[in-house]
Structure 1
Amino acid sequence: MTTTGASALPPTPTPNSAPTPTPTPAVATERPVPRWADRVAHAIPLVMLPVCLWRLPFAFGHSMGLQEEGRVFTSLWQSIPYIFGLSLLSEMVALLSFALVRGWGEVVPSWVPRLGGRRIRPAAVLVPATLLSLLAWVLLTNWTVTTFGLFGLDDGTFSNGSLALLARVVSGLFVLWAPLLTALTWAYYVRRCRTA
């Protein structure tokens, strides 16, 4: 079968033509990222999303079955910005985990004024990632202690067993952030700081 029209093959360069530069994608890294690390980076925002969505009714005064001693917020002007801000901040921090598996975690993107194109020292990424990992482990420990009632602590009284289960499941997914971020931080350290 013959085709008429443009060929699917790229044109061959002539001796006088300069090679066309190929843009480097934002995902390019100095050393290859393990497939599991890339999958973990994609999983972190997904495991944090359910608790962000679960929080939203609290912004509008719904207790989600939690029987609390006193209301934390006295008006919607306080609760809406706080809850929405907390949820957005949680997801933004989760999305920053991509810096551990993408090129913009190794080189400042070119669109950043004055700093664009400069290499990022590994410590500038590892220190915040390690501190966030430690914070995430504190949250995981707190969730474990309160969910299972260890040391006489509990996670609150719920009016409904289904809502209590929902709260424990979505917060349990959220605290999976600890081991996932720790694994990503370790993979970044191995990729950037260890010699091949």
Structure 2
Amino acid sequence: MEPMVKIDALPGVPRWAVLAAHTVPLVTLPSGLWRIAQVAGVPVAEQSGRNGREAVVAVSLTLLTEALALLTLGLVRPWGEVAPRWLPFIGGRPVRTLAAAVPALLGAAVLGAVAVWFTCTQATGLIGRVTQTPAQHVLLVVCYAPLLAWAPLLAATTLAYYRRRTAPV
């Protein structure tokens, strides 16, 4: 049976790695939308709306998070093997395997460590301090819980990238 959605990837990339790489930007999206909604004054929390500086930080964090999440796609797409021509200095050159794999694995390790630290030390205190209705609490958890999948998805996709790029020909 032919899949309903065809996702282009490089030859030799396992289907699970393609799906994992495409899932990463989706797991970061709900928290970003929650932050944007809060900045826009949508009552996602009792303290909806923020001052100008906090709004800039929230929007910048959202854009940075999505940009970093989208880089995961490079581990399964051609631009993860040959840098796009429009990039200064490296455009059109092959991407060294370790130049992509090491930062990605470090990123996965940092994301995992932050998730564990936050869950163990900060989550209950933060949630307890913020005044919110039960519905707002559920929305907050639903929007931020998917972030816990980012580190393992990135690590698995990176390991598949490394194996594929270093396999004997």
Category of TM-score, reference length = shorter chain: 0.7 to 0.9
Q: TM-score normalized by structure 2?
A: 0.80
Q: Partner amino acid for 1:166?
A: L
Task: Quote the Cα distance in structure 2 between the aligned partners of 1:60 and 1:116.
Answer: 38
Task: Quote the Cα distance in structure 2 between the aligned partners of 1:61 and 1:99.
Answer: 35
Match of 1:164 in 2: 137
Q: Partner amino acid for 1:128?
A: P
Relative contact order: is structure 1 or structure 2 higher (C-alpha 8 Å, sep ≥ 6)? 2
Q: Which structure is higher in helix share?
A: 2
Counting only pairs closer than 5 Å after superposition, residues 1-40 of structure 1 correspond to structure 2 as 29=10, 31-40=11-20
Q: Partner amino acid for 1:160?
A: T
Q: TM-score normalized by structure 1?
A: 0.70
Contact 1:133 1:182 in 2 (8 A): yes
Deviation string 1:151-180 (CA, Å, 9 cap, x unpaired) is: xx5533343122112111211112210111
Task: Quote the Cα distance in structure 1 between the aligned partners of 2:9 and 2:144.
Answer: 33
Larger Rg: 1
Match of 1:41 in 2: 21
Task: Quote the Cα distance in structure 2 between the aligned partners of 1:156 and 1:138.
Answer: 22
Structure 2: tracts of 5 or more residues without a match: 1-7
Distance 1:113 1:57, change over 3 A: closer
Percent identity of paired positions between Structure 1 and Structure 2 = 38
Structure 1: tracts of 5 or more residues without a match: 1-26, 68-72
Q: Partner amino acid for 1:178?
A: A
Contact 2:36 2:58 in 1 (8 A): yes
Residue 65 of structure 1: how far off its partner (Å): 3.1
Q: How many residues align structurally? A: 160
Contact 2:75 2:158 in 1 (8 A): yes
- Give the superposed CA RMSD: 2.6
Match of residue 79, structure 1, among 32, 41, 54: 54
